[in-house]
Amino acid sequence: MLEFHRTLLTLLEGGQRVAVATIVEARGSTPQREGGRIIVAEDGRTWFTIGGGAFEALVIDDARTCLRESKSELKTYSLHESGEEALGMACGGRAQVFIEVSGLVENLLVFGAGHVGRALARLAAGVGFGITVVDDRSAMLDAPAFPAGTRLVETDRLFREALPPIDDHSYVVLVTRCHDTDEAALRALAGQPWRYLGMIGSRRKVRVVLDRLLEQGVPAATLERVHAPIGVPIGSHRPEEVAVSILAELVAIRNGVPSPGRIR
């Protein structure tokens, strides 16, 4: 059991979305009794077992569906050779399996540990985002300045080293110390499958950065997905209020509401 939890924790800390399928009820003859568990990744990789065979294969398929649809579900499996929803198995039992999707907390990666980045981390943690802050200045990655549980990542000035995992559920915010580092971060992230990427700056600065990256070969389709200038317009330049503006856009995107914060 300890090994199971260690494996699950390692996967989640590495940014992996997984489903945990647990046998919560077993009647008659089944490949494994209550409490049997298997961990399933989106690509079909598994850790541990609930008995193998057709039963386990179907649970794995259902777990992958739950991951794609981002939902947990209680499923019932008939381990008979015939009959409605039977698996063609000779066991003759029946099993209920709870498939729980883990790692669904939206990951917010804040590039820049300055005033805006710190304020945003504090606010975003309060509405359920998992926070990672990335900066190339070790002195700025001061744990007490960020919410408990914030992952602090030191990288190089070009944002090429030690970057945390980014997937198509990730939210990325670029609020680094200057135009050059924002541009470097966006260049490094252009090929990543983020759900949202926003960059701070005036309209002129945003246009200059995007034009440069286009000239350097970053696909136009990628740059068109960048939300910039970031945030919803509230007419303020104070770091704490800029953070409110950015968070409002993040929550809008999370809720499926179109955001105005994008340069065309």
What pLDDT is recorded for position 86? 43
For 261, the token pair is 């914060």
Angle between helices 203-215 and 179-189 (to 10 degrees): 50
Helix (H) / strand (E) containing 182 = helix 179-189
Q: Where are the alpha helices (DSSP H) in 70-102?
A: none
Question: Is the Cβ–Cβ distance between 78 and 85 less than 8 Å?
Answer: yes
Q: Please, is 260 exposed, middle or buried when counting C-beta atoms within 10 Å of its C-beta (0-12, 13-18, 19+)?
A: exposed
pLDDT tens figures, 179-213: 899 999 999 999 899 999 999 999 999 999 999 99
Q: How many CB atoms lie within 10 A of CB 233?
A: 9
Tokens 């729980």 sit on residue: 100
For 103, the token pair is 């790692």
Q: How far apart are CA 151 and CA 159, in angstroms?
A: 16
What pLDDT is recorded for position 94? 85
Smallest Cα–Cα separation from 243: which of 113, 118, 111, 152? Answer: 118
Q: How many CB atoms lie within 10 A of CB 117?
A: 28
Question: Is the Cβ–Cβ distance between 166 and 189 less than 8 Å?
Answer: yes
Q: How many CB atoms lie within 10 A of CB 175?
A: 27
Give CA angle at 39 (34, 41), nearest 5°: 150
Q: Give percent above pLDDT 90 in the chain.
A: 61
Any bridge partners for residue 39, and if so which?
20, 47
Q: How far apart are CA 166 and CA 169, in angstroms?
A: 8
Task: For residue 91, give the amino acid letter.
Answer: C
pLDDT tens figures, 142-169: 999 999 989 999 999 888 888 888 888 8
What pLDDT is recorded for position 104? 63
What pLDDT is recorded for position 216? 93
What is the pLDDT averaged over residues 232-258? 90
Three-state SS at 226: coil
Please tell me the least confidently modeled range out of 14-23, 84-93, 108-117, 186-195. 84-93
Average pLDDT of the chain, as a whole number = 88
What pLDDT is recorded for position 67? 87
For 21, the token pair is 């399928």
